[in-house]
Amino acid sequence: MDIGVLLPTGTAQWGPTDDPRELVAFGRAAERLGFSSLFVNDSLLSPRVEALTMLAALAPATGTVALGTAALLPSLRRPVQAAQSLASIDVLSGGRLTVTVGAGFPGRFGMPLYALSELPWAGRFARLDETVALWRALWDGAGSFQGELFRFADLPPALTPARAGGPPVWLGGATPSALARAGRLYDGWLPYPPDPADYATGLHDIRAAAADAGRPAGDITPALFVSIRIDDDVERGRRATDAYARATYGMPLQDLEQIQAVVTGPADQVVGRLERYVAVGARHIVLRLAAQDLHSQRDQLERAADLIPAVRTAALA
């Protein structure tokens, strides 16, 4: 059972006097507190530290914690260049990289980014899958690649990742198409369904798709992305999470809860809610801490660390 944390790389999570260089110290603190992984968000243009830059800074500053993206948008980068950057982070971290990918969402978090990248919105899922296939070919040392979108007859040697075949690549999303593709093509699944029952259904469908493709179910890591706020005062915690939701997504908490897993309340209530996801199969939980300055983020990090033993014990039940 792995429990990781999302680094607060966006300015919506920084106070007016915060120094973003503290993010490296934040990552080291999370490692000392017993978290299994450090994840970062991605976007083409947004007020946050660029994802791969952040991971490159963390690679030599940490020793054992896994490093990951949640989720990287590969279509918005040159695919060969991205493969080299990811291999570099994997090498610099000693093979600790996990790459969760996605294709973006309709609305302001997806379509405008494709327009800025001069890419069609239509066909984005096929582009995503082929980009990942190209990465894996480069990481395996292939001399050529022939796909529907990318064709390279003579690929020069690329940097070999620390692990044979390259870092594991997970898929975000929970549409029927995403579930089928995760089962056929990817090494893990990182969704954020607000209802544990939906997580259970999705994981069942992924494993069925994997079986149809001749893959063992154990080849796919069942992960979960969830926002949490630990507060003994329930209403105070919800107010803080509401402010976080409005600053980050421009929507109130009650709307965010309809589309993403969000857990607030005293520690025992947060553990109880997380245990429901563990009970239906989640085995790598990535916690996003709902706080709007680095001091509060650090406080929530320490509170969340206290939950790790109980959540891990639930996985053994």
Dist CA 295 CA 18 (whole Å): 8
Residues whose CB is less than 8 angstroms from the CB of residue 55 and which lie 6 or more positions away in sequence, other chains included: 40, 67, 69, 89, 93, 97
Cα distances (angstroms) measured from residue 189 to each of 23, 72, 218: 26, 13, 12
Dist CA 80 CA 74 (whole Å): 10
Contact 305, 33 (CB under 8 A): yes
pLDDT score of 44 more than 80: no
> What per-residue confidence (pLDDT) applies to 112?
84
pLDDT score of 107 more than 80: no
pTM above 0.75, yes or no: yes
Contact 26, 20 (CB under 8 A): no
> What per-residue confidence (pLDDT) applies to 195?
98
For 8-37, write each residue's pLDDT tens digit. 999 999 999 999 999 999 999 999 999 999
> What per-residue confidence (pLDDT) applies to 13?
96
> What value does the mean pLDDT take over residues 46-62?
96
Helix-then-strand count for the chain, H and E: 12, 11
pLDDT score of 317 more than 90: no
Dist CA 24 CA 50 (whole Å): 14
What are the boundaries of each domain within the chain?
A: 2-316
Confidence band of 296 (pLDDT split at 50, 70, 90):
very high
Contact 172, 71 (CB under 8 A): yes
The superfamily CATH assigns to domain 2-316 is Luciferase-like domain (3.20.20.30)
> What per-residue confidence (pLDDT) applies to 109?
66
